[in-house]
Amino acid sequence: MSSNNNGFQEMLDYTTRLAQVNFDKVSIESLENAASFFVEKLLPNIPKSLMNKKHMKDHVKIEIGDDRVTVYFEDTSFYWRFIENGTSIIQAEHFVEGTWQQHKETIQDIMSNELLKEMKG
């Protein structure tokens, strides 16, 4: 810290550390970690079909692209929204929204902690 205590040295140190962070790497890693955590918490909440067919739990996937991470239902992607939001016959279960609402602060912490770790590093 500078001897004149004007705060500029602290800000210079902070921005220098910030400039050295590889945001693309950190953001993809943090998104991947957050997506993995979300899927881990989502799997027990996914309703199992009473029919002897494919179950949504077996088709949850995480796809990592160049600039995004996506959590999706692979082969049952057409059907999950009916269970989530309901229909005139099926009552809504809100298993995705409920899982997100229950764990969103932890997911946000996972994403921001990666950046903070990299800045301190």
The domain in which residue 102 lies consists of 24-120
Residue 71, in any domain of the structure: yes
pLDDT of residue 103: 93
- The whole-angstrom separation of Cα 16 and Cα 12 is 6
- The whole-angstrom separation of Cα 85 and Cα 109 is 28
pLDDT in tens, 57-110: 888 899 988 878 888 888 777 788 888 889 999 898 988 989 999 998 998 888
Residue 86, in any domain of the structure: yes
DSSP 8-state symbol, 110: H
Residue 74, in any domain of the structure: yes
Residue 45, in any domain of the structure: yes
Residue 60, in any domain of the structure: yes
pLDDT in tens, 25-34: 667 888 889 8
Residue 40's pLDDT band (cuts 50, 70, 90): very high
Looking at the 3D structure of the chain, how many domains does it have?
Answer: 1
